[in-house]
Amino acid sequence: MRSKQPTWSLERTVRQTAAGSTLFHLPWLHRLRSDQRPLPASPEENGITCPVGNVDAGADEDGSGITRYRWWICALLFFGTTICYLDRQVIAVLKNSLKSDLHMDEQQYAAIVAWFQTAYAAGYLLAGRMNDILRVRRGYAVSVFVWSLAAMAHALVRTVGGFSFARAALGLAEGGNFPASVRSVSEWFPRKERALATGIFNAGSNVGVMVSAVMVPWITLRFGWPAAFLGTGMIGLVWLIPWLAMYRPPEEHPRVSASELRLIQSDPPDTSEKISWASLLKYRATWAFAVGMALSGPIWWFYLFWVPGFLYDQFGVDLKNIGLPLITVYLIADVGSVAGGWFSSWLIKRGRTVNFSRKLALLVCALCVVPVVMASRVSNQWVAVCLIGLAAAAHQGWSANLYTFVSDTIPRKAVGSVVGMGGMAGAVAGIFFSVFVGAVLKWTHNNYLIIFLIAPTAYLVALAAIQFLVPKIEDPSGSNS
The pLDDT tens digits of the residues spanning 421-437 come to 888 888 889 888 988 98
What residue ranges do the domains of the chain occupy? 69-267+276-469
Give the up-direction half-sphere exposure of residue 341: CA atoms within 13 A in the CB hemisphere: 24
Q: Which helix (H) or strand (E) holds 404?
A: helix 381-409
Q: What is the value of pTM for the model shown?
A: 0.69
Q: Do residues 337 and 199 make contact, with C-beta atoms less than 8 angstroms apart? A: yes
Q: Do residues 291 and 460 make contact, with C-beta atoms less than 8 angstroms apart? A: no
Please give the mean pLDDT across all residues of the chain.
Answer: 81
Specify the CATH superfamily of domain 69-267+276-469. MFS general substrate transporter like domains (1.20.1250.20)
Query: What is the identity of the amino acid at 27?
Result: P
| Residue 158: per-residue pLDDT | 86
| Residue 202: per-residue pLDDT | 87
Residue 51 has pLDDT above 70, yes or no: no
- Interatomic CA distance for residues 184 and 247, integer angstroms: 10
Q: Would you call 480 helix, strand, or coil by DSSP?
A: strand
Bridge partners, 221 (sequence order): none
- Interatomic CA distance for residues 370 and 376, integer angstroms: 13
Residue 32 has pLDDT above 60, yes or no: no
State the average pLDDT over residues 275-294.
Answer: 87
pLDDT digits (tens, 9 = 90+) for 246-275: 999 999 888 888 888 888 888 776 655 666
pLDDT digits (tens, 9 = 90+) for 319-371: 777 788 888 998 898 899 889 889 998 998 898 999 999 999 999 999 999 99
- Interatomic CA distance for residues 433 and 297, integer angstroms: 10
Please provide the DSSP assignment of 408-422 as one string. HHS-GGGHHHHHHHH
Q: Work out the widest C-alpha separation in the chain, in whole angstroms.
A: 79
